[in-house]
Homo-oligomer: A and B are copies of this chain.
Amino acid sequence: MTVRTDLALECRELVGESEIEGVIEKKEEKQNVKITRIEIKTEKAALRLNKEMGNYITLELSPFSKSVCQNEKEIEIIAREIKSLIPNSDGTVLLVGLGNDNITPDAIGPKTIEASFATRHISESMPELNFRSVALFSPRVLGQTGIESSESVKAMVEKTNAECVIVIDALASKSINRLGCTVQICDTGISPGSGVNNKRKSLNQKSLGVPVIAIGIPTVVDALTIAYEAGGETVQNKNELSEMFVTPREIDVIIENASKVLALSIAKAMHQSYSVEDLYFLSL
């Protein structure tokens, strides 16, 4: 039995030792934002943590359910971390919002796309605006379209000649305390089995052919994880529980708020010469 989590921070906690070979870990605090940087440097460490090799940045923020707490400074901190993982060129960035917009905790990807603005069609004709070329895409889910996200995202990467993909996705945490107040940014893309609907295929440099930065916010805990935590291995109804997820009653406010904060943070990372306020009005 394994507890399911998409957070490198929690995978690392589950291993539990004070130091893990092949893993570099740094903690920092800025403006009340706790930042943990985990680098998984070897295949062996990747196996122990059950996460791909690469860099994982976790930001612990004020809760997205309390909109008054977010502010320009948090956005600038998130933007800086995103920027640190994006290839330093001026090619097109394809921004992809994974997930099902009809299931509230899974809608963070499509909602972030909705709150973002595309510039690919104007960055070339109006270079004086200093926009990086950004294209937007929400693939929806297999049941809605008959097309796997991994197929349609690859088609878009090829057609737009994107140099890099940013995927936004809802994550599963093992702890309800992390829901709606954590952002994970990594350079390893999306792994199978993550998100609300855990049948997702890989979206990473190997499958897409370009670097893939993944930005995720935990919005659900598996119902099985809750049951295991309460009752241990004796849990009944495992099959049925595995088809259920747990999410906060205030998930609507979390998604609404988090998607706008992510959209602004990504815009700030893309179009650095603009202030957050300008970007807010641009994305109206």
* A-to-B contact residues, CB < 8 Å: 67-68, 70-72, 100, 102-104, 118-121, 133-137, 142-148, 151-152, 154-156, 158-160, 176-177, 196-197, 221, 223, 226-232, 234-237, 240-241, 243-253, 255-257, 260-261, 277-278, 280-284
* Cross-chain contact B102 with A102 (CB below 8 angstroms): no
**What is the copy number of this chain in the assembly?**
4
* Cross-chain contact B159 with A134 (CB below 8 angstroms): no
What residues of chain B lie closer than 8 Å to A229, measured between beta carbons? 227, 231, 236
* Cross-chain contact A102 with B252 (CB below 8 angstroms): yes
Q: List 15 A-B contacts (CB under 8 A).
A: A67-B284, A68-B278, A102-B255, A118-B147, A120-B146, A121-B148, A134-B146, A152-B156, A227-B230, A227-B231, A229-B231, A230-B230, A245-B246, A245-B249, A261-B284
User: How far in angstroms is the closest Cβ of chain B from A198?
Assistant: 8
What residues of chain B lie closer than 8 Å to A72, measured between beta carbons? 277
Known contacts A246-B223, A260-B284, A284-B67; is A155 also within 8 Å of B159 by CB?
yes
* Cross-chain contact B231 with A100 (CB below 8 angstroms): no
Complex Cα spacing A145 to B119, Å: 8
Per a CB cutoff under 8 Å, which of B156, B230, B281 touches A147?
B156
